[in-house]
C-alpha cells in the first residue's frame, strides 16, 4: 500500500512539474516582434461592456495560432508624471517575426474580435516594435 501511495505522489509531482514547464513555454516572451495595443472603451464604467469586451478578447486570444506571448492587462494604478493610466485595457503580444504578425492580423479569430468589439471602444493605439 505504501508503494502505491508513494508511486501516486511521485506521479502527481511529475505531472505538476510537466504542467508548470508547459505553462512556462506558452508564456515565454519572444523579443523578435511585439505588438502592444491600448484600448479606451466608450463606457469604461459599464460592467456589461467590460464583460463583453473581455469575453471577446479572451476568446480571440485562446484561438490565435500566431501570438506567442498573450498578456491582457488594465491600468496598474501607478501615479508618476510619465505614466499614462487613462486606457481601459492593454494587450501585449509577441511574435517570432513581422511576417508572422502580418498573418495574425488576417487570422479569423482576430478579424472576429475586431468585428464584435469595435463598437465598444472609442480609441485604440498600437505600438509595434522589433527587438534590438
Q: Are 129 and 36 in contact (CB under 8 A)?
A: yes
Owning domain of residue 122: 27-130
Question: Does residue 5 fall inside a structural domain?
Answer: no
Question: Does residue 120 fall inside a structural domain?
Answer: yes
Note the pLDDT of residue 30.
Answer: 73
Q: Are 113 and 91 in contact (CB under 8 A)?
A: no
The count of structural domains within the chain is 1
Question: Does residue 52 fall inside a structural domain?
Answer: yes
Strand bridging mode 121-130 / 33-41: antiparallel
**DSSP string of 21-86, one letter each residue:** HHHHHHH---TTEEEEEEEEESSTT-HHHHHHHHHHHHHHHHH-SS-SSEEEE-------TT----
Question: Does residue 46 fall inside a structural domain?
Answer: yes
Question: Does residue 2 fall inside a structural domain?
Answer: no
Note the pLDDT of residue 61.
Answer: 94
Enter the C-alpha cell of residue 51.
464583460
Enter the C-alpha cell of residue 50.
467590460
**Domain with 83 in it: what CATH number?**
3.30.70.100
Question: Does residue 15 fall inside a structural domain?
Answer: no
Note the pLDDT of residue 31.
Answer: 79
Residue 51, CA distances (Å) to 55, 98, 132 in order? 6, 31, 37
pTM of the model: 0.77
Q: Are 89 and 121 in contact (CB under 8 A)?
A: no
Question: Does residue 9 fall inside a structural domain?
Answer: no
Note the pLDDT of residue 25.
Answer: 46
Question: Does residue 95 fall inside a structural domain?
Answer: yes
Please give the average pLDDT of every successive group of 10 residues along the chain, which has 132 residues. 51 47 55 94 98 97 92 95 96 94 96 97 97 89
Amino acid at each position: 500500500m505504501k508503494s502505491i501511495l508513494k508511486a501516486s505522489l511521485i506521479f502527481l509531482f511529475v505531472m505538476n512539474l510537466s504542467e508548470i514547464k508547459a505553462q512556462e513555454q506558452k508564456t515565454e516572451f519572444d523579443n523578435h516582434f511585439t505588438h502592444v495595443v491600448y484600448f479606451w472603451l466608450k463606457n469604461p464604467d459599464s460592467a456589461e461592456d467590460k464583460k463583453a469586451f473581455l469575453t471577446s478578447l479572451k476568446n480571440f486570444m485562446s484561438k490565435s495560432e500566431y501570438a506567442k506571448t498573450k498578456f491582457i492587462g488594465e491600468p496598474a494604478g501607478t501615479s508618476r508624471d510619465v505614466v499614462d493610466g487613462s486606457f481601459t485595457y492593454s494587450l501585449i503580444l509577441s511574435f517570432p517575426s513581422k511576417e508572422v504578425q502580418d498573418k495574425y492580423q488576417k487570422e479569423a479569430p482576430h478579424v472576429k474580435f475586431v468585428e464584435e468589439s469595435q463598437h465598444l471602444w472609442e480609441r485604440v493605439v498600437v505600438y509595434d516594435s522589433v527587438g534590438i
